[in-house]
Structure 1
Amino acid sequence: MLKTAIVTMLFGIAAYSSHAQDSKKPAEMTPEMTEQWEPEPQVVTPGTNNAAAPSDAIILFDGKDLSKWKSKNGEGDAAWPVNDGYFTVGKGDISTKQGFRDFQLHLEWSAPEKVEGEGQGRGNSGVFLQDRYEVQILDSHNNRTYSNGQAGSIYKQYPPLVNAMRKPGEWNSYDIIYTAPRFNEDGSLFSEARVTVIHNGVVIQNNAVIRGATEYIGLPKYKAHGNAPISLQDHGNPVRFRNIWIREL
């Protein structure tokens, strides 16, 4: 009798334990459980081609004037000459009047058709992200120089993955996806800047980690900053620019 009672009790405990375990099993998954409906992405109308500005872009140069730019040294408006839908490097660097953080930037540029000089002295300019991190502009068509200083390099930091340069006088495009660095409240670095560069449709920088502000002499380093402009460099060569737009991310 006692043996029967013990067996019955043990069976009851096992049955309860099995039921308790079953009750803790997660509900069976359904397709709806992994569907996200909010927020709904806003509608952006693409340009008529991949070089044309989408509907949410800020037009930095529309082929008519440099009203969105100023002299970098603070001495008034940008004075680079505008002709036939493009502008040419003039005296002194220029910067956008507006500052930016994370963005997608499109610009087109052309090295002079008449080849003069060699190395860094040939078709040299640069686009500075947040006014301090340079993506090099240079005539690198059959023009050997140090690899981390040729067209598409993160200047003095990373060579481009490949040389996608077109011939002198032909138009090149840069599409740049940039994530700004983040800083702690005390000014120390929290996370580095990152950049992807597409040159004439070819990826030449793939989510590269920028080591700090561009330096011609010495090693790059970070100094805390906020939003900052896009700048273009006067390096003494008549590089041309057109079709510049930006999307804040």
Structure 2
Amino acid sequence: MKKLTYYLLITIVICSCKEKTETAVIENPKEESKPVIQEKEITDPKETEVWDPEPKTVSFNQNNVPSDALVLFDGTNLEAWVSSKDATPASWTINADQTMTVKPGAGDIQTKQDFGSIQLHLEWSAPDSVESEGQGRGNSGVFFQNKYEVQILDSYQNPTYSNGQATSIYKQHIPLVNATKAPDQWQTYDIIFHEPEFDSSGKKVKSGTFTVIHNGVLVQDHVEILGSTEYIGPPKNEAHNKGPIKLQDHSNLVQYRNIWVREL
């Protein structure tokens, strides 16, 4: 009798443990074994080398212009430019030292060719004779697609509103620093412009951006273009296609040289 009782007790315990085990499996159905994927260890440096495609080689001429650039002004003529107001030949002054000077009253000039996203290089100099102050001193501007201005101004020891000084994205972005040299020296702008994008209904779906390097110093770091750079009022975002590069006649004798562009 004692043996029978002992066997019954053992049977109950075993059944109880089995039931608990089965219940535990049911309660945790997600705990399935997953295959372990072991990444192959890279020991050969050649396995991370990419040889194709190979970047195109760019060479440079005597003026340090890259071979894949379009020269807009090299000091010899204004054939790439027309008057903005009536599309007649540009009439700004070409000087003996292969520079050109704004001709006050002649109006803005712009490229015959339209551009989208580009890299633009230009060099400019404020008048040697310092006259006036603020926005009246060495004022011009370079416009992209006839809508977006990077300010040109003699900002050397010349206070004005910060979003209107040299290299500002006019009335939108203040430069990180003022890298303007004295007016008897040449200034260099290297500008990366990515144009905005619009959908078929004319709605802007992606803002354009500017990166500006002034005399070798980063002053605008991939900033968002909020819209057209208006003198009065907020930016506008009317749909448009490619457009010309425009230089502004602000009645100051600003000089230009060595202008070239690379399409991106």
Q: TM-score, length-normalised on structure 1? A: 0.86
For 1:187 and 1:39, the matched residues in 2 are separated by 36
Instruction: Letter of the 1:207 partner, please give it.
Output: H
Q: Report deviation, 1:21.
A: 2.8
Task: From 245, 250, 253, give the equivalent of 1:238.
Answer: 253
User: How far apart, in 2, do the equivalents of 1:193 and 1:47 lie?
Assistant: 31
1:198 is matched with 213
Q: CA deviation at 1:201?
A: 0.7
- Partner AA of 2:101 in structure 1: T
**2:249 alignment partner, SS class:** coil
2:35 counterpart SS class = helix
Q: Which runs of 5+ in 1 are unaligned?
A: 1-16
The residue identity in structure 2 corresponding to 1:94 is: I
Q: CA deviation at 1:103?
A: 1.0
Distance (Å, rounded) in 2 between the aligned partners of 1:47 and 1:163: 30
Q: Does 1:86 align with 2:99?
A: yes
Question: 1: distance between equivalents of 2:190 and 2:61?
Answer: 14
Deviation at 1:33, TM superposition (A): 5.0
- How many aligned positions are there? 229
TM-fit CA distance, 1:74:
2.4
Distance change in 2, residues 1:27/1:208 (3 Å) = same
What's the offset of the Cα at 1:166? 1.1
Q: Could you tell me which of 185, 190, 194 is aligned with 1:179?
A: 194
* Structure 2 counterpart of 1:3: none
- Between the aligned residues of both structures, percent identity stands at 55
SS in 1 for 2:222: strand
| Whole-angstrom CA distance in 2 between matches of 1:208 and 1:21 | 47
Find out whether 1:21 has 2:35 as its counterpart.
Answer: yes
Deviation at 1:34, TM superposition (A): 3.9
How far apart are residue 25 of structure 1 and its match?
4.9
1:124 to 139, 143, 147: 139
Distance 2:173 2:179 in 1: 15
User: What residue is the counterpart of 2:127 in the other structure?
Assistant: 112
Does residue 53 (structure 1) correspond to residue 65 (structure 2)? The answer is yes
Cα distance in 2 for partners of 1:67, 1:242 equals 14
SS in structure 2 of the partner of residue 227 of structure 1: coil
> What's 1:7 paired with?
none
Q: CA deviation at 1:31?
A: 4.7
Moved more, 118-127 or 28-37: 28-37
Q: Which runs of 5+ in 2 are unaligned?
A: 1-31
SS at match of 1:120: helix
| Equivalent-residue separation in structure 1 for 2:47 and 2:235 (angstroms) | 47
Further displaced range: 108-117 or 161-170? 161-170
The 5-angstrom pairing of residues 159-178 of structure 1 reads 159-178=174-193
RMSD: 1.9
Of 148, 156, 168, which aligns to 2:163? 148
CA shift, 1:247, in A, is: 0.7
Deviation at 1:47, TM superposition (A): 4.7
Instruction: Tell me what 1:10 maps to.
Output: none
